[in-house]
Amino acid sequence: MPLLIRNGEVVTASLRRSADVLCDGESIVDVGPNLAVPAGADVIDAGGKYVFPGFIDPHVHIHLPFMGTSAKDTYTTASRAALVGGTTTLIEMVCPGRSDDPWDAYQLWKGKAAGTSACDYAFHMGVTRFDAATPAVLERVVADGTSSFKVFLAYKGAFGIDDAELYQTLELAQRLGVIVTAHCENAEVVARLQQRLLAEGKTGPEWHEPSRPTAVEAEGVHHLATFAALTGAHVYVVHTSCEEALREAAAARERGMKLWVETVAPYLVLDRSYAEQPAFEGAKYVMSPPLRELRHQDVIWDALASGLISTVATDHAPFDFIGQKEMGRGDFTKIPNGIPSVENRVQLLYTYGVARGRLDLLRFVEVASTQAAELFGLAPRKGTIAPGADADLVVWDPSFRGVISATTQEMNVDYSAFEGWPIEGRADLVTVRGRIQVRDGKFVGDTTHGRYLPRKPTH
């Protein structure tokens, strides 16, 4: 049945205008004023509302065995959460352990999603070891449509790779024409600082940030940029948290490097003081790189508005407070890292960005959807509203007022890092390839509708 969304203000990364959007099957077929109503069409009135392209979260963890435990969401819970928040496409990190077979890991991650996701999805392939067998496996992964890699310069002894492995991964990525996403922190320095702080009896979550100061992250970005310059690889710095790291990224971009920057929703609205709360409450706010001093927030918002930062993701990594974060009582290095926010990203960005005048609507769409589609080979199918694109649409009610709470969230985790926070605006209606998955802000759809999105190399 055709779907006609009428009378809304259609907003893309380049244009906002009053228009109707006509979808047929899985695609958008027409965008314009006063479109005729096709016979049998489902007509949605979007008067007083925005119509956005489906939002894309280019950095999430769903299946994540990590730090002696495993992240809580399934694809079903994470994708439902994404959709009620307005996100219609997820890009998940495949994170094999160093001793795992990478092809088996890739199949395991794909298998977790297949038939259980309510939204569309793709993967970044984690390269957590590089040996003689790696090039053939990665070529196979790219041929299967996963045309981006992930490396960790952090997490020594877990996902982290050494410099020889980094160099070879970037060389291979360049040959295959795929972009490499990177967690940039100097693993050796973090390990030394952690040991020193613990030896001094500094064991609480408030010591997580001092164990990974901004210089450690800035060095990571510089390190990646150096290796990328030497190999010609295209790189993408994930979850950038601070001014010092941004300066390194800006310098690399000024030298003409193909380097892009992501930040994540928690850094835009939370700061280090949350991880310093007493009674181990701060553990809820432990992620890496860590939440920083408040002064970094303005720098990140400015970098987002100016274009230095291309995308806002979440780095969604859901671990319960009870039983999981608690594993780090008495030793902050054992607190599973991550702040769940796949459900909250778009609302936080709208409330604390657009509604506060820090981000205009076009840039909001660009950083939350369009840039991710372009950087990761999903455009023009995703990230815009145009004939031929997938009918992934968000009808957004800017007059909605509500409050975030763990008691009402779809994410399968026992707390919210934003408990009680007021939010402005809501995804009233969300479609994925023409199918209505969210109505009146509630999931009403099919939890098997999501599809794997194969992508081609981007350069």
157: how many CB neighbours lie within 10 A of its CB? Answer: 8
How is residue 52 written in tokens? 């956005």
| Among 340, 339, 355, residue whose Cα is nearest residue 426 | 355
**Which residues pair with residue 55 across a beta bridge?**
87
Question: For residues 92 and 366, which CB has a smaller minimum distance to Zn ion in the complex?
Answer: 92
315 in contact with ligand URP (CB under 6 A): yes
**Whose structure tokens read 């990140």?**
300
Min dist CB 326 to ligand URP, Å, is 17
Question: For residues 73 and 428, which CB has a smaller minimum distance to ligand URP in the complex?
Answer: 73
In angstroms, the CA 74 to CA 63 distance is: 7
Min dist CB 117 to ligand URP, Å, is 20
- State which of positions 58-77 bind ligand URP (CB under 6 A): 61
Out of 85, 220, 282, 338, name the contact with ligand URP by CB under 6 A.
338
DSSP code for 206: G
- State which of positions 158-217 bind ligand URP (CB under 6 A): 183
345 in contact with ligand URP (CB under 6 A): no
In angstroms, the CA 323 to CA 337 distance is: 14
Q: Is 113 helix (H, G, I), strand (E, B) or coil?
A: helix
Min dist CB 150 to ligand URP, Å, is 9
* Helices and strands in the chain, H and E counts: 12, 19
Site string for ligand URP, 123-162 (x = CB under 6 A): ----------------------------------------
How is residue 37 written in tokens? 């109503």
Residues that bind Zn ion in the complex, under the rule CB under 5 A: 183, 315
287 in contact with ligand URP (CB under 6 A): yes
| Cβ atoms 182, 237 nearer than 8 A | yes
Min dist CB 410 to ligand URP, Å, is 20
**Which residues pair with residue 27 across a beta bridge?**
24, 390
**Which residues pair with residue 419 across a beta bridge?**
none
Which of the choices Zn ion, ligand URP, none does residue 287 contact, using the CB cut-off of 5 to 8 A by kind? ligand URP
Min dist CB 142 to ligand URP, Å, is 22
Residues in contact with ligand URP by CB under 6 A are: 61, 183, 239, 287-288, 315, 317, 337-338
